[in-house]
Amino acid sequence: MIYNLFLTFLSPVNNTQKKVIVSPEMPMEYNNIVATNESVLKYLLWSHWQEDSSFSIHRIFALCSKGVREDHVTFNNQIMSSVAVFSKQIETFYTHMGHTQYEFKDAFVPIGCGEDIEDTQRVKESIIEVSRQIIDFMRTINRVNDSVHLYMDISGGPRNAAMILLVICRLLAYHGVIVSEVFYSGMKQGTPSEITIHRIRDIYNLFDIISGFEEFNLFGSAKKLGNYFHQQSQSNAAISGLLCAMNDFSEAIKLSSRGNFETSIAELNRSLSELKQRTNHNFDYQEFDDSLIEILREPIEASYDALLKNHRAAQTDELTYVEWCLQKGYLQQALTLFNEYIPLYTINHHIIELDEAKFIQFYSELQHDKEKAILKKAINRWNENNEKKIDFDDFYTCVNTRTKFVNVKKDIRSLPMLAFNTINYCRGERIKQLRNKSKKVLAPTIKMHLIKFMNLFYKRPTELDLTNNKQSLVSWHLLIEKEQNKLIEIIENILNKYSFSLFSSDVKEDKYTLIEFISFISSILNNPLSIVKFNDMLVPLRQHLIKYVFKDESIEKYITIDTAKSLIELTSDSLSNALVICQRLFDFLVTEFKAEHYTLLILYINENRESDINSYVDEVLKLVDTQSISVTPYDVKGVIIPTIDKNRLVSILKFLYIYADIKKARNDSNHANKETLCRFTTSSELYQSMSDCLQLLRLLSQ
């Protein structure tokens, strides 16, 4: 079903002299007009009723200023307001046309606009009020099967009435309302007793073509433009060609396809050139649409200037596409093109060089080693949990004859992209090895300081277990707090020297680390019953301590162990029993617990890329031959950085770091990761990092 709405702005009736609509079709007996606003509504109803007498306007929304509602005129020997005159005239018209006055009364919704319609704030409030009333009506109907059509009269009201009505109309259009017709009526020049009605929806539709060009400029979408010209009876070949090119470009942006991007730019350039060529000829007559598009052509060319210049110069500057997407705010498209273009650009501009044969061999061997490591890890896990052991070397010798190196040619990624991924992987492995080495160096020192803190347990005053010992408890708690803070400060300083930390820079980080372990020790020093916080530890640590501590016969009767989940539970709330358990734990941690276990708790890294890069460059340059003019980054064979200049090497390695970060952001986006892997928390950070990376590449390619 179609629901019809009518929207108008009533004018005050200053002259009750009757007028007529200039319409040869409309009989004179139905053509008596007093208020100007009557003309459009009567003409609309009469025109539709000639074809379908069941046609109905379900709501007639009329904005009324204070003067229209309250100021009075004499009409038919009665004193009434302008809105009353309008209502009386339309009711009479309904009756003359064989409809009832109640049909109008049920549909008529006058809406007050306050005392001063020139008040900008009040104008805004009126727009919202009218829009809400119409939207509230729309909510009462079934929008799935029904549609709402709007007819609008912009004749009456104050000077800004037309603008107010247009704003309301555009708001409603976003709610799915179909603008069926827009009317304007006015006194016929030289004959004030006659009113001419104009259908002006074509002019209203111009908003669509202008907003369509804006939509294309801002979002790369040609949908609205296509809708506008699809409604036109005819369109010349130049305009059709331009629309087709714009639509293809829009699709290329959505798909983020490198090939489509380049092809669509070529087509857009051809269409714009053809349109410009047509305009340069002195035609005696131009269609309105031609002239309008010509006016809007220059802003489009300016918006796509960098891409068009790149195409016209027959350049293959891949960075231009990424930079243009960034400038337009197409961040996802920029990410995709960045991921595709940058490795190839880097190789093409000899920032990094690739020996394909050597790299393919290295890459295949690396993938083979990765698979071997995964297999070994699985076998080790099996051996830990089963009595029947598998000898990995024998097992691997057995299956190795069937194992083939990875066929790089079957990989859908380009070799430059594979090279970048491999550099990133090997750099990560190098850093991981260095950090694991540092952790092993740190562990004995950390253990020594933790033992000093845990030794407080053996100094625990016996009076703490007596009743009425509040003062002793307070003193003890203060001592533990003081020693804990001292311990944290000491360990943090030790960790910082090796680029680690007790604390995470990410407030969302929630892991069991050294700081939680220290807190656990502190808790049971304060209250032995807090031993149950053991269940918050890492599973490997819990499994180890259950095996070597809590399964001891001396404490077995005081705790219940859930072996499957590696959890413990006290059998009673007895403080003395808890003390026995704690003593067994501290005895083990102080005398038998190996320092290497603490490496599991060192997780947070104070990343200092500048320092990492500089130290790596210094290390590499010490090893290169004096005759050498290149460097192999992170021992990735077949990948070459053709320079031994320290500053340039640092810049290239910095670029590779940034690229890897941005690629992680793209992977997070592609896979809709709930937990992001990249370091960017806002789109502006990502935008800035991409801009910095592109700028650095520009410098390196000079």
- Percent helix, strand, coil in the chain (nearest 5)? 65, 10, 25
Is 664's pLDDT higher than 90?
no
Rounded Cα distance, 507 and 467, in Å: 41
Res. 606 pLDDT band, cuts 50 70 90: confident
| φ, ψ (nearest 5 deg) of residue 193 | -85, 0
Instruction: Label the pairing between strands 500-501 and 604-605.
Output: antiparallel
Who has greater pLDDT, 191 or 128?
A: 128
Beta bridge partners of 245: none
Per-residue model confidence as pLDDT tens digits over 638-661: 999 999 899 999 999 999 998 988
pLDDT for 118:
63
Per-residue model confidence as pLDDT tens digits over 466-509: 656 778 888 899 999 999 999 999 999 999 998 899 988 765 66
Q: Which residue has the tokens 């708790």?
A: 601
The H or E element that residue 21 is part of is: strand 20-21
Q: Which two tokens stand for residue 312?
A: 């016209």
Query: Residue 490, Cα to own-chain centre: how many angstroms?
Result: 42
Is 451's pLDDT higher than 90?
yes
How many Cβ atoms from other residues are within 10 Å of residue 444's Cβ? 12
Q: Out of 137-146, 166-175, 255-264, which region has the weakest mean confidence (pLDDT)?
A: 255-264
The H or E element that residue 275 is part of is: helix 258-280
Per-residue model confidence as pLDDT tens digits over 267-290: 888 888 877 776 665 454 456 666
pLDDT for 504:
81
Per-residue model confidence as pLDDT tens digits over 327-356: 888 888 888 888 888 998 999 999 999 999
pLDDT for 507:
54
Q: Which two tokens stand for residue 680?
A: 């960017």
Who has greater pLDDT, 229 or 78?
A: 78
pLDDT for 29:
63
Sequence length of the chain is 702
Res. 674 pLDDT band, cuts 50 70 90: very low
Average pLDDT value for the chain: 83
Q: Which two tokens stand for residue 297?
A: 């052509």
- Sign for the pseudo-dihedral over CA of 12, 18, 23, 26: positive
Per-residue model confidence as pLDDT tens digits over 438-448: 999 999 999 99
Per-residue model confidence as pLDDT tens digits over 540-585: 889 889 988 888 788 888 999 998 899 999 999 888 899 999 999 9
